[in-house]
Amino acid sequence: MAKKLIFLLFVLVCVVYSQEMELKTGQVGLDFSIFSYKTEDKLEQKRYSPLKAGLMSALIPGSGEFYTKSYIKSALFFTAEVVLWVVYFNYTRKGDEQTRWFKRYADENWSVVDYASWINEWMRRYGGHDAPRLSIDPNENLKPWQRVNWSRLNGGRKDI
């Protein structure tokens, strides 16, 4: 809960501090279509379209800020986007490697025939005299998954 609250506070602060425009004329349409910045001795006004800046940022993060001559913000947004994509792909790759390792380990160390034998032994010891048993085909030339009836194995006690 605390992490969510800190994240929401972070987002709120970012939104508040990212707003640089001040209402100059009192006309919302005009104020939001004019972006001003100060040079050394005078105030210059340039017209930037918020829609164009927004669309540019949607396509390439930071490009809308670059368009409005906020170069530091542009670099920060673009860098953050690149870093997040690198982290995403890195962790996705690590997850895929772990999945491959797990499957390899399972293929080398797990046998459905041994599992079915264990279930049969467990049922014999603890299931009572009428406990159901899985049938295991004695033909060792078959693949292990062909020696056990999968639907009975996966069906639970009533289907065994």
pLDDT, position 26? 57
The tokens for 104 are 């390899």
pLDDT, position 160? 44
Q: Evaluate whether 20 touches 70 at the Cβ level (below 8 Å).
A: yes
Q: What are the angstrom distances between the C-alpha of 24 and each of 21, 36, 60, 82, 146?
A: 9, 10, 29, 36, 79
pLDDT, position 89? 96
pLDDT, position 153? 80
Q: Evaluate whether 73 touches 53 at the Cβ level (below 8 Å).
A: no
Write out the chain's pLDDT in tens, 160 residues: 777 767 776 766 665 555 555 555 555 555 555 555 455 555 555 677 787 877 888 888 888 888 888 888 888 888 988 999 999 999 999 999 999 999 999 888 888 899 889 988 888 888 877 777 888 988 989 888 889 988 888 875 554 4
Please name the amino acid found at residue 88: Y
pLDDT, position 14? 62
pLDDT, position 158? 53
* Measured distance CA(71)–CA(65) in Å, rounded: 7
* Measured distance CA(40)–CA(138) in Å, rounded: 91
pLDDT, position 45? 58
Q: What are the angstrom distances between the C-alpha of 118 and each of 55, 66, 104, 126, 135?
A: 62, 66, 22, 12, 12
pTM over 0.75: no
Residue 118's H or E segment, with its range, is helix 112-126
